[in-house]
Amino acid sequence: MIRPAVVLVRPENNANIGATARVMKNTGLSDLRLVDPSDWRTIETWRTAWASQEILENAKVFKTLDEALRGSTMALALSGRDDKVTVLDVREGVRQLGTAPEGASVCLVFGPEQSGLTFEEMALCGRRAFIPSHPAQPSYNLSHAVGITAYECFRLEPQARPGHLLSYDDRQKLAEEMEIGLRAVGAIRKEKERYSRLFRGFLTSLDLSVADARWMRFVGYCMERAARDAGYKG
């Protein structure tokens, strides 16, 4: 099994937070992170946790998803949104998390009950997965979605693990440096900021080594230098 952190972004129902703590304990997980929650320390939250209150007591609260993901190596966003992008089945998404280096921090990320994660938040995670469901009732309750995904983590067989991979923080820094070169040659323009989000999402989904990052930084520098030498101003 793997033991990812469970990240709830702007949870709206306190009963779901407590129920999430319960299914986390069922599946051997303990790291609960809440992003911009409302007043969640209520009797309802603790009541639905049922013998898992210590997970609530140790839950960490963050202002943004970016802060909650810092220090992680991989993150998997769970979403049922159909917007014509490539999405992994939840079982395959969890399997990919299981290839993270031993001791690396990985995260499962879930959005608000009503609206789900934004495009920008899913791009921060890089990987995105969905949970198959019957068309008569396609959406899952938040705590149920956490339970299904956590169970897949619990049942996961040991995976072959690569060496050191870039952390979330390092990939974000690399994306910023690469964007300088892409903007210099006009690949990303101010009126096309969506391309910047797409590029960051693509880069975040890659399992990059330190050597990979060194080569990509060199490519970014070459683009910036070529644009400067040509007098191109994007």
Per-residue pLDDT of the chain (234 residues), as tens digits, is 789 999 999 999 999 999 999 999 999 999 999 999 999 999 999 999 999 999 999 999 999 999 999 999 999 999 987 765 668 999 999 999 998 888 889 999 999 999 999 988 998 998 999 999 999 999 999 999 999 999 999 999 877 666 677 888 888 888 888 888 888 888 887 766 777 777 877 787 777 887 888 888 888 888 888 888 777 665
Q: Are residues 201 and 97 in the same domain?
A: no
Q: Where are the alpha helices (DSSP H) in 156-192?
A: 168-184
Residues 123 and 173 in one domain: no
* Cα–Cα distance for residue pair 32/20, rounded to 1 Å: 9
Residue 43 sits in the same domain as residue 136: yes
Overall domain count for the chain: 2
Report the pLDDT value the prediction gives residue 158, as an integer from 0 to 100.
74
Whether 130 and 204 map to the same domain: the answer is no
In sequence order, what are the beta bridge partners of 109?
A: 7, 77
Helix (H) or strand (E) holding 87, with range, is: none
Whichever domain contains 130, its CATH number is 3.40.1280.10
Q: Residue 163 falls within a domain, yes or no?
A: no
pTM of the full structure? 0.80
Q: Identify the CA nearest to 184 among candidates 219, 223, 229, 217.
A: 223
Same domain, yes or no: 141 and 190: no
**Is 160 part of a structural domain of the chain?**
no
Q: Is position 141 within any domain?
A: yes
Can you name the residues that pair with 77 across neighbouring β-strands?
109, 128
pLDDT of 30 reads 97
Do 133 and 52 reside in the same domain of the chain?
A: yes
Which of 155, 183, 201 lies at the terminal end of a domain, its last residue?
155
Residues 210 and 117 in one domain: no
pLDDT for the residue numbered 178: 87
The pLDDT value recorded for residue 188 is: 80
Alpha-carbon distances, residue 57 vs 18, 35, 61 (angstroms)? 11, 15, 11
What count of Cα atoms within 13 Å lies in the side-chain half-sphere of residue 102? 2
| Closest among 204, 234, 229, 230 to 65, alpha carbons compared | 204
What does the pLDDT read at residue 162? 61
Residue corresponding to tokens 């323009």: 189
Q: Domain of 10?
A: 5-155
